[in-house]
Structure formats: C-alpha cells, structure tokens
Chain A
Amino acid sequence: DAKTTQPTSMDCAEGRAANLPCNHSTISGNEYVYWYRQIHSQGPQYIIHGLKNNETNEMASLIITEDRKSSTLILPHATLRDTAVYYCIVRVAIGAGGGADGLTFGKGTHLIIQP
C-alpha cells in the first residue's frame, strides 16, 4: 500500500471550512483514497473515497490532485462535533481474495474545532 503523510494536528474555527491535507506520493494507479474519522470513544466512521475525480457527499468533499500524489478533505462548515482524528488511507478497492483485506490506519490528523 502507498504510505500517507498527514499533519499531526490542526485547528479550525467553528463555521469555517476545514481543509485536511494528505500526501500519498507513491500511490499506484489502481489505489483509491479513503477518508475516515474517529470521534473520541467511538468507532471510526467512513467519510468519503475517490480514485481520481473530485468527490462530494453530504459530509465532505475530496479533492485529488491531477497527479494523484496528494488530496484534501474539505469539511465546508465545521462544527464542534467535527472535532476528531481524521485518517487518510490509500488502498486497492478489491483484495487478493476478491473481497476486502482490511485497511491500515495510521496516526491521522487530530482536528480541533475552536468555538
């Protein structure tokens, strides 16, 4: 799997857009970028994923650079409930056995939303 690099922590003011960067310079052509977050004392929560096109859903937007070596997760209007650790993961969509073979979670970015 391609390794990812994320800042250890970030602050963002409530109501502003939170932009979380992720570097994945060794990403392969068939690897997707996945984003998860983990709010304190809860299990991780899937946010969004993409291959090469920008993606948007009800939670966030994902911007992937044209060379696919980095991406940015955007929370358009951050709230206090968005305070969490955000994980950027790069993985092929299908494992060797035809199903999933597990995701590797790194240290992530601790996003703190300030009131």
Chain B
Amino acid sequence: DVKVTQSSRYLVKRTGEKVFLECVQDMDHENMFWYRQDPGLGLRLIYFSYDVKMKEKGDIPEGYSVSREKKERFSLILESASTNQTSMYLCASSPTRPGANVLTFGAGSRLTVL
C-alpha cells in the first residue's frame, strides 16, 4: 500500500560527500516535493517540481539540487554534504488541479552528516 517510497530510512555520510536521496511515487502524480524537518523549525520546503524536468526553488534551496527525469522519480542531491544538513528529509507528491495541495508523504529519510 506504500505510495511514496524513499530509498533510505537512515543514512550516515561524511562532510564533503555527495549524497543522493531518492523518492519514487506510484500514483502518477504531477507534483513532487522535498522538505526537511528540524526540531523547532518545522517542515521547510527545499524544492518542488510540477512536471518532468521542471524544478522550482522552495524556501531553503541553498546547498541542494534536484533531478526529475521521470514522472515517478524525484531526487534530492547534496553536492557536498555539510553537518548543518543533518536532518529528516521528507518527500511528497500530489496530483494536479484540483487536488494539488493534497500531498502524500513518504516515511522520511534521516540523514546524519559527520
């Protein structure tokens, strides 16, 4: 019954490493999102995409990039991981109008950067 799958539940990486977080949805949704969640700061939008090969910056895109080569897959890339990117990362998807804000979230990927 899982509809949004994040490839790794827990990751530990070293400072400076390139990190890929993968997200796949099986609902044929047009929109996909990446958030990070930190204690006291809540969920913050990093990037989103409303179509294949399209990407839009969210509120905190610095230090991240994304890739959407196929409709079902949205990848978050940390080119050179830093300790301040230690966080819980949440992927979500939603259909286009009129349900564009009805998001289905994955279980999350907890990243620790040492």
Name A residues whose Cβ lies closer than 8 Å to a Cβ of B.
32, 34, 36, 41-46, 49, 89, 91, 93-95, 97-108
Most chain A CB within 10 A, of B4, B58, B100, B101, is at B101
Give the distance to chain A from B52, nearest Cβ to Cβ, in Å. 12
Find chain A residues with CB under 8 A from B106 CB: 43
B50 lies within 8 A of A34 (CB): no
Find chain A residues with CB under 8 A from B33 CB: 100, 102
Interface class of chain A by DSSP: loop
Interface size for B (C-beta < 8 A) is 29
A78–B1 Cα distance when bound, in Å, is 24
B105 lies within 8 A of A95 (CB): no
A98 lies within 8 A of B105 (CB): no
Give the distance to chain A from B72, nearest Cβ to Cβ, in Å. 16
A-contact bits for B37-79, CB 8 A (1 contact / 0 none): 0000011010010110000101100000000000000000000
B50 lies within 8 A of A99 (CB): yes
B97 lies within 8 A of A93 (CB): yes
A94 lies within 8 A of B48 (CB): no
Q: Can you give 29 contacting A-B residue pairs, CB < 8 Å?
A: A32-B101, A34-B102, A42-B108, A43-B92, A44-B92, A46-B103, A46-B104, A49-B101, A89-B101, A93-B97, A93-B98, A93-B100, A94-B98, A94-B100, A95-B50, A97-B56, A98-B97, A99-B97, A99-B100, A100-B50, A100-B100, A100-B101, A102-B33, A102-B45, A102-B48, A103-B101, A104-B45, A104-B59, A105-B43
B31 lies within 8 A of A100 (CB): yes
B43 lies within 8 A of A45 (CB): no
A102–B60 Cα distance when bound, in Å, is 12
A100 lies within 8 A of B94 (CB): yes
